[in-house]
């Protein structure tokens, strides 16, 4: 059973004019999405079911449609009707954000879309966009902890020990004008300072109707703990971006989840051989904490928690450590979500209106 809620936008925009960022002046008569429209020379008609576990590298042209006007900016999967069945997982990584389009029928999400970044090294689709994430930040020096990445909300600051603590940059005050991922945390100071976590990736769904009975995760990665030479912990990455652009969103009986939470900051290291700081944690649900690293076995400063939950908040600043420990890294801030639905879906952080 589904409940239908009306939402803004979507119908194909006939003869939409091109802008300076379009890749080619193709004869694009069929355009989809009111946010970052994507245009095609012919109406897509096939039915695609993305079952099982799928991994998409958005930088590989063979994985993405090449007939639209935004091939340089986005990896697009398009069909007349597109379905991700229950228990299926679509994972996307790479430098380009992911766009999924059902051109004429419903988009059915009963499984999971994962564009999150992971501390293990997998960067979500479109995360850490070049030239957009370092404004206003202060890098950690000597033995201090790094800043958490900022996006919709501010990342936490690192803990100052020796030198200067990492200070997070400012937030983006309104919904971005283009689909993009979140920002990384900074690197902890010292010879083996903890690496910062990547920001969450970005995904947009364009359809006449979205049947929502699944999960979308665009959360940021955790920061690494500082090394055993009294080194600073890395900052957590911010959440990324999720956009649902449809005339109607139909919600299933089982609560769905959309979340773009920040990653936890890494703990500072202690000045002894076995004194590595603990890595931060990563969010696995709208209200599930991305805790800062803290193994309670050394004097390194505790990492800050990432921004988590259906109430918008900043990433936490790193906590105090003991004598001889490096500073902890700050937690990542929250990302952006646009989904015009008010019941039956857990959304963290809260949905924002697109200007």
Q: What is the 3-state secondary structure (H, E, C) of 166-179?
A: CECCCCCCCCCCCC
Widest pairwise Cα distance in the chain:
67
Q: Closest Cα partner for 261 from 350, 345, 136?
A: 350
- The pLDDT, as a whole number, for residue 343 is 86
Distance CA 197, CA 245 (A): 29
Could you give phi then psi for residue 61, rounded to 5 degrees? -55, -25
- The pLDDT, as a whole number, for residue 324 is 79
Radius of gyration of the chain (CA): 20
- The pLDDT, as a whole number, for residue 24 is 43
- For Cα atoms 193, 198, 203, give the angle at the middle one, nearest 5 degrees: 175
Contact 232, 302 (CB under 8 A): no
Residues of the chain with pLDDT under 50: 1-26
Residues 205-258: tens digit of each pLDDT: 999 999 999 999 999 999 999 999 899 999 999 999 999 999 999 998 788 999
Could you give phi then psi for residue 313, rounded to 5 degrees? -150, 165
- The pLDDT, as a whole number, for residue 91 is 98
Could you give phi then psi for residue 62, rounded to 5 degrees? -70, -20
Contact 92, 201 (CB under 8 A): yes
- The pLDDT, as a whole number, for residue 28 is 56
Within 8 A by CB and 6+ apart from 290, the residues are 219, 220, 222, 236, 261, 262, 263, 264, 280, 281, 282, 283, 305, 306, 308, 331, 332
Buried b (16+ CB within 10 A) or exposed e, 285-310: ebebbbbbbbeeebbbbbbbbbbbbe
- The pLDDT, as a whole number, for residue 27 is 53
Count, in order, helices (H) and strands (E) of the chain. 0, 17
Report long-range pairs for 282-285 (Cβ below 8 Å, ≥24 apart): 282/116, 282/118, 282/119, 282/197, 282/219, 282/220, 282/221, 282/222, 282/306, 283/217, 283/219, 283/259, 283/308, 284/217, 285/257, 285/259, 285/346
- The pLDDT, as a whole number, for residue 16 is 38
- For Cα atoms 210, 216, 220, give the angle at the middle one, nearest 5 degrees: 150
Is the model's pTM score more than 0.85?
Answer: yes
């Amino acid at each position: 059973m589904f409940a239908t809620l009306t939402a803004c936008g979507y119908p194909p925009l006939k003869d939409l004019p091109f802008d300076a960022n379009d890749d080619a002046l193709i004869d694009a008569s069929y355009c989809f999405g009111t946010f970052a429209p994507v245009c095609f020379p012919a109406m897509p008609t096939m039915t695609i079911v993305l079952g099982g576990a799928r991994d998409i590298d958005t930088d590989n042209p063979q994985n993405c449609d090449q007939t639209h006007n935004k091939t340089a900016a986005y990896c697009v999967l398009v069909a007349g009707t597109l379905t991700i069945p229950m228990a299926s997982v679509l994972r996307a990584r790479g430098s380009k954000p992911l766009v999924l389009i059902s051109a004429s029928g419903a988009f059915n999400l009963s499984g999971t879309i994962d564009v999150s970044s992971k501390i293990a090294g997998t960067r979500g689709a479109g995360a850490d966009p070049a030239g957009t994430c370092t404004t206003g930040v202060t890098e950690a020096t000597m033995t201090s902890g790094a800043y958490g990445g900022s996006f919709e909300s501010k990342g936490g600051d690192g803990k100052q020990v020796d030198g200067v603590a990492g200070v997070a940059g400012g937030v983006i005050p309104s919904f971005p004008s283009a689909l993009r991922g979140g920002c990384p945390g900074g690197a902890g100071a010292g010879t083996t300072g903890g690496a910062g976590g990547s920001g969450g990736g970005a995904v947009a769904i364009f359809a006449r109707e979205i049947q929502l009975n699944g999960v979308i995760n665009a959360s940021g990665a955790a920061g690494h703990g500082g090394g055993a030479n009294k080194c600073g912990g890395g900052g957590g990455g911010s959440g990324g971006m999720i956009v649902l652009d449809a005339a109607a969103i139909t919600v299933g009986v089982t609560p769905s989840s959309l979340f773009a939470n920040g990653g936890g900051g890494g703990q500072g290291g202690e000045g002894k051989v076995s004194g590595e700081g603990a890595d931060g944690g990563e969010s696995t649900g709208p209200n599930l904490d991305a805790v800062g690293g803290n193994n309670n076995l050394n004097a390194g400063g505790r990492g800050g928690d990432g921004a988590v939950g259906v109430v918008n908040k900043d990433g936490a600043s790193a906590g105090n450590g003991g004598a001889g420990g490096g500073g902890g890294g700050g937690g990542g801030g929250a990302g952006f979500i646009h989904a015009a639905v008010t019941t039956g879906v857990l959304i963290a952080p809260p949905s924002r209106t697109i200007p």
